Amino acid sequence: MTAEKRERGLVIIPTYNEAENIQRVVRGVFDQALPLDILVVDDGSPDGTAELVESMIAEEDRLHLLRRSSKMGLGSAYRDGMRWALKRRYDYMFEMDADLSHDPKYLPELFWKLKDYDLVLGSRYVQGVNVVNWPLGRLLLSWFANLYSRIVTGLPVADSTSGFRGFRRDILEAIDLERVKSDGYAFQIEMVFRAWKLGFQVREISITFVERRSGVSKMSKGVIWEAVWMVWYLRVMSLLGRL
């Protein structure tokens, strides 16, 4: 008798000073009753985020922690998390913020869609604009960043900067993570672009993003400039066949 293979996923959550949020988001993920583990990638948060995770690990063997010594950026945290996942037998990997902007209730849809698609994005802009509590300036920045990235790269995606998404393992095996250099929103765009160029099927589902209520955003001007240049880099390198 052949038992049906049950897909397993890993939710990678990067943290820097998320002590006020991390325990709630971990519980929210496990409440979904999906075959999911969690890997928190913490960059030496001075507020004790990692210690809170460790106290939960004692009672929850599906929770894991990767401690890094200092703040090295979101993209770098995800790259390390993805390498960690690739060494283990996960079929799917998910990206998710720790600040509860990404509601775990969308995980089942992301999860089940990965049976038919290679990369599933939780998208804020597929059905109008679904963002709660962002100042107008921040919303416009995000919306225009997506328009700009679509025009420059040709990516047929409404929300390529979204940090709530699921990958099938084969994408992460196919993309050479050593070559992925970007860190902030650019990292998100770059991963979708590389997957799309490699011919993987990308799908968006509609989510509502709610701005964090606790803790502070770590996004900076540098991260925005990185994205401005990165989309041109991606386009040129891809035209030259050197991506």
Ligand X SMILES: Nc1nc2c(ncn2[C@@H]2O[C@H](COP(=O)(O)OP(=O)(O)O)[C@@H](O)[C@H]2O)c(=O)[nH]1
Interface positions with ligand X (CB under 6 A): 14-16, 18, 41-43, 71-74, 77, 97-99, 101, 212, 217-219
Nearer to ligand X, 142 or 243 (CB): 142
On whether the CB atoms of residues 201 and 156 are closer than 8 A, the answer is no
Closest distance to Mg ion from the beta carbon of 67 (Å): 21
On whether the CB atoms of residues 144 and 108 are closer than 8 A, the answer is no
Is residue 42 helix, strand or coil? strand
98 binds, among Mg ion, ligand X, none (CB under 5 to 8 A by kind): ligand X
Is residue 138 helix, strand or coil? helix
Give the closest residue to 97 by CA, choosing from 162, 175, 180.
162
- 91 contributes a contact to Mg ion by CB under 5 A: no
Closest distance to ligand X from the beta carbon of 98 (Å): 3
77 binds, among Mg ion, ligand X, none (CB under 5 to 8 A by kind): ligand X
Round to whole Å and give the CA distance between 219 and 224. Answer: 8
160 binds, among ligand X, Mg ion, none (CB under 5 to 8 A by kind): none
Question: What tokens appear for 72 in the block?
Answer: 């090295």
Nearer to Mg ion, 8 or 212 (CB): 212
Q: How many residues bind Mg ion (CB under 5 A)?
A: 3
On whether the CB atoms of residues 57 and 63 are closer than 8 A, the answer is yes
234 binds, among Mg ion, ligand X, none (CB under 5 to 8 A by kind): none
Is residue 139 helix, strand or coil? helix
Give the closest residue to 204 by CA, choosing from 157, 155, 139, 147.
157
Nearer to Mg ion, 130 or 238 (CB): 130
Amino acid at site 200 = F
Closest distance to Mg ion from the beta carbon of 99 (Å): 4
Q: Which 93-122 residues touch Mg ion, going by CB under 5 A?
A: 99, 101
Nearer to ligand X, 99 or 204 (CB): 99
Q: Which 182-241 residues touch Mg ion, going by CB under 5 A?
A: 212
On whether the CB atoms of residues 115 and 187 are closer than 8 A, the answer is no
Q: Where along the sequence are the contacts to Mg ion (CB under 5 A)?
A: 99, 101, 212
